[in-house]
A and B are shown apart, each in its own frame.
Chain A
Amino acid sequence: AQSVTQLDSQVPVFEEAPVELRCNYSSSVSVYLFWYVQYPNQGLQLLLKYLSGSTLVKGINGFEAEFNKSQTSFHLRKPSVHISDTAEYFCAVSDQGGGFKTIFGAGTRLFVKA
């Protein structure tokens, strides 16, 4: 079984400051890793994914994440945030062995202040 822990429920940050949203996972098998963003009253939108290869993954809207297998982490970063980045961010894992279930973390609310 897999589990995902997002270490911060809320992250307030000033505009143009850097931000890191932390995600740890637990799994007995190899996993694929994803970050999704959810704006108010909308569904989830994929930001980036780690499947294999380079541990540094670049996504949309200037976000990137780094896969650390030894620490079972997949932290999301952005060097300079905008007001429009205010949203809920979800880390998710799925089993590399195939299958159907994606496990989501509880989410981190990023609040960008002017």
Chain B
Amino acid sequence: DAGVTQSPTHLIKTRGQQVTLRCSPISGHKSVSWYQQVLGQGPQFIFQYYEKEERGRGNFPDRFSARQFPNYSSELNVNALLLGDSALYLCASSLEQGMSNQPQHFGDGTRLSIL
């Protein structure tokens, strides 16, 4: 079975641009979470989506938005990019939302570089 897949793997943007990152969860997983991992730090929670609804949001500005589609895939959008948005963006899927004893399955991430 395929794991969590993310695209693209690498992306270079300039300040002020907009970016869309994509994630396909493991088949049968209904919950998708997004994390930002800045170099040298642990992942920071951005969003969780379950059944196409936002169920949780971390301490990120409104420039960050996301959505989940009927097939449970998800997109993360970031507007008005700043140099500080340079990071590895990780997507994780799990079977259900609200069952925090379930481990998350992570994709390999999208490396976003802002020039």
Contact = CB atoms under 8 A, between A and B. Distances in A.
A43 B23 CA distance: 13
Most chain B beta-carbon neighbours within 10 Å: one of A4, A90, A104, A105:
A104
A102 B100 contact: yes
Interface in B5-64: 31, 33, 35, 40-45, 48, 50, 55-56, 58
Interface in A40-77: 41-46, 49, 51
Contacts of A49: 101, 103
A100 B108 contact: no
A55 B16 CA distance: 49
Given A101-B58, A106-B42, A107-B41, A51 B106 contact: no
Contact of B100 (A41, A90, A99): A99
Nearest to B98: A98
Interface string A85-114: 000001010111111111111110000000
Given A100-B55, A100-B97, A44 B106 contact: yes
A34 B94 CA distance: 14
Interface residues of A, number: 28
B90 A44 contact: yes
B68 to A, nearest CB: 13
B98 A99 contact: yes
A30 to B, nearest CB: 11
Nearest to A92: B42
B103 A100 contact: no
A96 B109 contact: no
Contacts of A95: 100
Contacts of A14: none
A101 B107 CA distance: 17
B11 to A, nearest CB: 14
A98 B90 contact: no
Contact of A104 (B40, B43, B97): B43
A95 to B, nearest CB: 6
A85 to B, nearest CB: 19
Given A100-B55, A104-B43, A46 B103 contact: yes
A51 B101 contact: yes
